[in-house]
Every structure is written in C-alpha cells, then in structure tokens.
C-alpha cells in the first residue's frame, strides 16, 4: 500500500499550529494553564484537559482512526484496554473493537467494520485543524475509505471537539461528513456499525459465561438493560463500576441527524454503538430497508455528543444535558 507524504508546507503549518497551542497551554512557571491542550506525541495526538490526560487520537498505521484510552472521572479507564494493551482479566473477543471509533460494515458492499482478510481500511490523509483552547480543543481531519485493493470509494471529514468541563462530566462532540467523492455511495443495511465504543469490562451488563454484571443500560425512551438492543432513542447511557468508581458513558444523537432518533447496537458484553442503518437486523424488515444512498458528489453529516460522567444516569442529569445539546446552536455552526 502506498502512503503519500504531506508536502513540506503542510508539515510547517501543522507544527506551527501545534506550537501555538503548546505555547498557549504552558504558563511562565511551567504549569499547565486551565483549558484544553492538543499536542502531537509520537504517532498520536494527546488531549489534556486542565492538565489531566483525557485521551489520545490514533491515526497512523491503523485500520481506522480511534481514540484510546478514554479516561473519565478520577482518571479511571472507561474503555476496554485490549487490544491496545495486554492486561489481566479482559476478554479477547472482537479485536477490531478499538476503544472509540467510527466505521461501518457495509459501504458499497465493502466491510469497513471488521479487520478480516477482505476488509477495507479508513486511512488518515491529513489534519485540517489541530487547535488548543481555553474552552474547547478542536481536531479536524480528512480520511479515505479504501478497499483491500486500495480503491478509494469515499472520503470523510471528521471534527472532534473536546470541551473544558468538570472532570466528573467530560464532554466530547463527534461530527463526521461523508463525501461520495468517488461515485455513488451506499451505506448498507447491517447491524455492524457505526459510531462505537467498547466499554471497560467491569461496566458490562453481563460478565463472561453469562454471569450478571454490575452495569446498566438506560435509554431516553425508558427502555433498560436487556430491552435496549436494536431500539431507537435520542440518547443511550451505559454505566457501571470502573476501578472502584461508578461511572458512565452517554452517546447523544443530534436531532438534525438523518433518521433521528437512531437505532442502538448496544450489547450486554460491552459494545455500545449508534447505528442508523441496520434496520433489517434491528426490526426484522426486508434486507436493504436501512440502506442510505449518497449520490456521487453529495455528502451526509452525522453529529453526536459523548458525556463521560460520574454516577448513574439520574445523577449525571443525562436527559437535561441532552436538551442542552439539542438547543446548542454552536454544534451545527463552523
């Protein structure tokens, strides 16, 4: 596979942006200023909020860009650590579940979800923006969707906004605009997708060998736990214990998204995904019912907010926070 190198002026602009963010983030006495800091460190972009590590954006030599780790309240891990790290007492299923990511299992009949022999890859092309800030840090990138043979079938631009917020309620916005840049694009009807996170093992609804877990799933509709898979809802919350602390993860589906409220591919073993395409699997309708066709030269945008919180759904005021998100005009503005 051929990897194109960015030109010198792109390198210069990129590192100038990083240097400006770094200069802003470090005070004269060497301590971290309050705010959100994004810094390149090796093959990742590190994100710190008020001097505390929050996550890393992985984009080099991977099957698709992803965020790992996700460190929530108290610095506890909110995602499964394998396959990024080898730690005791973690399941080794689904090696393509890389912490927090976006991919889909059927795009022009190509599997971008798994890492099987015939699977496609989402390949980072360049950063359009890497910006630290007092209130918000922003990372914007361009990516190509390539088949196993290297054919580009589509491109995307994704924007991640990291908000400065109390440690007990971290906020991150995820926006992706998919371009049918290389002909018609069909995002196919399959449950294997799409915006996903693999939660920490201790937070699961069920533990290995079908043993009950300490985690719980709650939807905006009132559906809970085992009644949530394949249901539609404006938001979904998955909470449970991690490293001795009760914590949770909420994904909110923005009201402007196509097919809002989305369906949820949320599993008792810890997979947690918003999937607006898998109607056949979720509702037992004819195959292809959930296909979303994007005509050549057109695009489609999806927006989501993550809330990484202390406590359960009620303590985190999830319903109230969704209302705030839905009314926040800055979400849909550039």
Q: Give all domains of the chain, ordered by start, each with its CATH number.
A: 8-332 (2.70.98)
Residues whose CB falls within 8 Å of the CB of residue 192, separated by 6 or more in sequence, listed in order? 104, 105, 106, 111, 113, 114, 265, 278
Tell me the CA distances in angstroms from 281 to 157, 189, 261, 290, one per residue in order: 28, 8, 17, 9
Residue 319's Cβ-count burial label (10 Å; 0-12, 13-18, 19+) is middle
CA distance 252 to 255: 9
- According to DSSP, the β-strands at 136-146 and 152-163 are antiparallel
CA distance 132 to 126: 18
φ, ψ for residue 279, nearest 5 deg: -65, -40
Residues whose CB falls within 8 Å of the CB of residue 173, separated by 6 or more in sequence, listed in order? 159, 160, 161, 163, 303, 304, 305, 306, 331
Structure tokens at 232: 């539609």
- The per-residue pLDDT for 333 is 85
CA distance 31 to 13: 26
- The per-residue pLDDT for 89 is 86
Give me the residues of the chain with pLDDT under 70, please. 1-32, 334
- The per-residue pLDDT for 14 is 45
- The per-residue pLDDT for 33 is 74
- The per-residue pLDDT for 320 is 98
Tell me the CA distances in angstroms from 10 to 69, 145, 215, 257, one per residue in order: 28, 22, 45, 32
Q: Are 189 and 277 in contact (CB under 8 A)?
A: yes
CA distance 159 to 322: 19
Structure tokens at 314: 């009620």
Element (H, E) at 236: strand 235-242
Q: Comparing C-alpha atoms, which of 91, 50, 92, 40 is closest to residue 71?
A: 50
Q: What is the DSSP letter of 215?
A: -
With tokens 């800091």, the residue in question is 37
φ, ψ for residue 331, nearest 5 deg: -65, -35
Q: Comparing C-alpha atoms, which of 139, 148, 116 is closest to residue 55?
A: 139
- The per-residue pLDDT for 31 is 56
């Amino acid at each position: 596979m051929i990897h194109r190198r960015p030109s010198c002026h792109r390198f210069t602009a990129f590192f100038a942006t990083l240097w400006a963010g770094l200069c802003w983030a470090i005070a004269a006495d060497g301590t971290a200023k309050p705010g959100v800091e994004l810094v390149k460190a090796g093959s990742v972009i590190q994100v710190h909020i008020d001097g505390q590590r929050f996550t890393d954006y992985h984009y080099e030599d991977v099957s698709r860009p992803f965020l790992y780790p996700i460190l929530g309240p108290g610095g506890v891990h909110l995602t499964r650590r394998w396959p990024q790290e080898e730690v005791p007492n973690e399941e080794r299923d689904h090696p393509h579940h890389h912490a927090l990511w976006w991919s889909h299992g059927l795009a022009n009949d190509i599997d971008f979800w798994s890492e099987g022999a015939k699977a496609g890859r989402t390949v980072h092309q360049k950063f359009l923006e890497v910006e630290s800030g007092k209130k918000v840090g922003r990372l914007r990138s361009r990516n190509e969707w390539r088949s196993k043979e290297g054919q580009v079938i589509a491109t995307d631009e994704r924007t991640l906004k990291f908000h400065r917020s109390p440690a007990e309620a971290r906020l991150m916005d995820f926006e992706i605009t998919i371009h049918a840049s290389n002909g018609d694009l069909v995002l196919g009807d399959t449950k294997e997708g799409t915006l996903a996170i693999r939660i920490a093992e201790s937070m699961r609804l069920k533990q290995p060998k079908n043993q009950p877990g300490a985690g719980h799933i709650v939807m905006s509709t009132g559906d809970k736990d085992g009644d949530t898979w394949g249901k539609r809802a404006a938001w979904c919350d998955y909470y449970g214990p991690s490293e001795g602390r009760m914590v949770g993860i909420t994904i909110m589906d923005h009201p402007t998204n196509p097919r809002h409220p989305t369906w949820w591919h949320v599993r008792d073993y810890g997979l947690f995904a918003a999937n607006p395409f898998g109607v056949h699997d979720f509702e037992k309708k004819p195959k292809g019912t959930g296909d979303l066709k994007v005509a050549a030269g057109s695009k489609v945008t999806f927006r989501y907010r993550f809330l990484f919180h202390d406590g359960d759904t009620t303590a985190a005021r999830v319903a109230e926070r969704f209302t705030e998100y839905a009314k926040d005009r800055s979400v849909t503005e550039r």
